[in-house]
Chain A
Amino acid sequence: MHELSIAMGIVEAAMDEARQRNVQVSAVHLRLGALSGVVKDALLFSYEVACQDTPLEGSRLLIEEIPVMVFCPQCKEKRVLESVQLFSCPECASPTGEVLQGKELEVYALEVEE
């Protein structure tokens, strides 16, 4: 399980941003792609552990799950996959591996108090 080291990375990034702005973080908004290789529940649990004894202790982690978006060469359109187990166009069933979105692991925003 690598969610703890990922969670520590999130806390570190958030602390760094907060320090620069001299603010207190109450929540971290994270964009988590379906292909990021990170499990949401494990990450939520690890986040609490990673926050202990840091200025972020007691803050919340809000996760926005990002589905995989591919480009369908047949339809010539962007398509959202229903599952990471099936890389084919949901409309025309053409196989496609051209991933446009879904690998995100990004601290998107911070909820802060001055």
Chain B
Amino acid sequence: MSEPRLIEVRRNVLKQNDVIARALRDQFHAAGVFVVSLVSSPGSGKTTFLEKTLTQLQPRYRVAALVGDLATENDAVRLARSKAPVKQITTGTLCHLEAAMVQNALQDWDLHQLDFLFIENVGNLVCPSSYDLGENLRLVLMSVTEGEDKPQKYPTIFNSADVAVITKNELSGAVEFDWDAARKSIESVRPGMRIFRLSAKTGEGMSEYLDFLSRQLAEQRAVVHS
């Protein structure tokens, strides 16, 4: 029997996803649409948060959303109340979205007709971190009811995200949420991360976050046209 031989192949396992994600990013850029993805654990209030985001952006912007739902969920129906175009991506038992699913879902949408596209990932703080969806900005949501140490428990997803949104701030008094501890926890896994603290229910803090999105869109378009 011959000796085993070692051959170098150096092949990125997620290459296929990364290639599609890059193509999507180019496509988004060319169409002038700013794409925001949302990751969170179940119970962070992301559907309410996204519904308010869509509703409040609509007077000024053309918005739409893709929603990744497990077979047992139906967040898309709730989001349709915002009157924005919403499409569901049913992942079955899969715990995350992949770039190919986003690409398929967008096939019959004209991205030039949009200013913002939101992609709500499946509620999970582990699996989505490995998959680039071509988004311009990744938001990670945590609610005050989930505890201040969430970032320490899920460092990879916080590190892969651009912005942290702390939701359900209306409950922070009731659960004695320690804002400094939360900020410290985020800082330790993602130094310099932009943090928004808000309540989708009362509207507190929403305008600061929506203004931030508006500026991001304007900046992206300035780059395109320069």
Contact = CB atoms under 8 A, between A and B. Distances in A.
Interface of A: 1-2, 5-6, 9-10, 13-14, 17, 21, 23, 26-27, 29-30, 35-38, 84-88, 95-97, 99, 105-114
A94 to B, nearest CB: 9
Contacts of A113: 1-2, 4-5
A91 to B, nearest CB: 16
Contacts of B13: 6, 9-10, 13, 30, 105-107
| A interface SS class | mixed
A85 B168 CA distance: 25
Given A6-B14, A13-B11, 5 more contacts: A2-B96, A37-B130, A84-B155, A85-B152, A99-B159
Contacts of B155: 84-85
B188 A26 contact: no
Nearest to A16: B11
Interface of B: 1-2, 4-14, 16, 94-96, 126-127, 129-130, 152, 155-157, 159-160, 187-193
A106 B191 contact: no
A86 B188 contact: yes
A37 B157 CA distance: 8
B191 A95 contact: yes
A92 to B, nearest CB: 14
A9 B98 CA distance: 13
A87 B191 CA distance: 7
Nearest to A31: B10
Nearest to B191: A95
A111 B190 CA distance: 38
B130 A106 contact: no
A108 B8 contact: yes
A2 B130 contact: yes
A9 B16 CA distance: 9
Contacts of A106: 10-13
Nearest to A99: B159
A37 B11 contact: no
Nearest to A27: B4
B126 to A, nearest CB: 7
B10 A5 contact: no
A36 B4 contact: no
11 contacts: A2-B95, A6-B14, A6-B130, A14-B9, A30-B13, A84-B156, A85-B189, A96-B191, A105-B12, A107-B9, A112-B6
Contacts of B189: 84-87
Contact of A111 (B6, B127, B130): B6
